[in-house]
Structure 1
Amino acid sequence: MKGYRMPDIHLDSTDRAILTRLQRDGRIANVDLAEQISLSPSSCLRRTKALEAQGVIAGYRAELDRDRLGLGLTVFVELKAARHSREVSRQVEAELTAIPAVVACHLVSGDADFFVEAVVPSLAVYEEVLLDHILAIEGVTSVRSSFALRTVLSRGPLPLDASLSKGTRSS
């Protein structure tokens, strides 16, 4: 396939320990991180900087409480496109990602072409987003919305240890 290549990143157990800990607390001081994974601070910093340079660590950000910010309604939207082409897909992607309420967007297989997660303060605001933005996208032929009743897990860390590849979850 054009443009596809296997990742050339090799993570040893120390790299995985750094990444696992940083996923739980991206603000941890390097000296504390180094102590928790039994490395010298200089070695830990060097490895962390290398993971950043390789793009394994894509960035750091604050996690915000949606409810406390008045964004308590999470909507999952399945979209179908009129035609399946790279051009239509790029146009729909560009317009979806320009909508501030959209916090995640995936091109998917199955009954829908796109799966979107939107966060809004109320059903009335979602109606505006749906009618004024999503349904206004040229090429969108069908929309189906589902509403989250309760969030069970929304920001789990990526599974980096070997036991998780066998279908088990550890804490």
Structure 2
Amino acid sequence: MEISLDTQDKAIIHALQEDSSISNLELSKKIGLSPSACLTRTKNLKEQGVIKQYTAFVDEKKLGVELIAFTMVNLSPLNREIANHFLATINEIPNVLECYTVTGSRDFLLKVVAKDIATFRDFIIDTIMAIPGVDKVETSIVMNRDKCTLTIPIDQD
């Protein structure tokens, strides 16, 4: 369900996507609202689910994570019970950053991180392939990240 946003709501979202650590006082000055009005709008955006969470965008390499991979998974048989179990398991695995149900020749697309290629190999064999119903796994290793953003474009009337 799409939510109607006015210019000030969009400005709040835009500013928070640039820097979620900005104080309410700084945010209010940036968008031209009183601090109390700004806080009320921000809380409303959070309550409506427009703002899901505030987070830090970290450099994984500085944390020793050298490998990013996109792993495509097929389940067999593909039915609701197997898919639900797969998704419940995937949601508990910290190395899987994102999971998408996709169309085409694959059932799921996972974004996975690992310390190195050996760790990733073990992860695929010992964790992903061990999930009941996993039939095929195909992986593309990221050689270079050319663009990465968490910012959703919104028009700024």
TM-aligned CA deviation for residue 98 of structure 1: 2.0
Aligned-residue CA RMSD (Å): 1.4
Residues 70 and 142 in structure 2, CA contact (< 8 A), matched pair in contact too: yes
Match among 8, 24, 28 for residue 14 of structure 1: 8
Is it true that 1:59 corresponds to 2:48 in the alignment?
no
Aligned to 1:114: 108
Q: Deviations over 1:140-167 (max 9, x none)?
A: 111001000111222330011179xxxx
Displaced runs of 4+ in structure 1, greater than 3 A?
none
Aligned to 2:126: 132
Residues 7 and 156 in structure 2, CA contact (< 8 A), matched pair in contact too: no
Count residues with an aligned counterpart: 157
- Flag structure 1 segments of 5+ consecutive residues without an equivalent: 1-6, 164-171
Aligned to 1:93: 87
Q: Deviations over 1:79-105 (max 9, x none)?
A: 011123221111111122222211111
Matched residue type, 2:33: L
Aligned to 1:39: 33
TM-score by length of 2: 0.94
Residue aligned with 2:137, SS: strand
TM-score by length of 1: 0.87
Aligned to 1:50: 44
Decide whether aligned partners of structure 1 residues 146 and 8 sit closer, same or farther in structure 2, where only a CA change above 3 A counts. Answer: closer
Residue aligned with 2:63, SS: coil
Matched residue type, 1:79: V
State the identity %: 36
- Flag structure 2 segments of 5+ consecutive residues without an equivalent: none
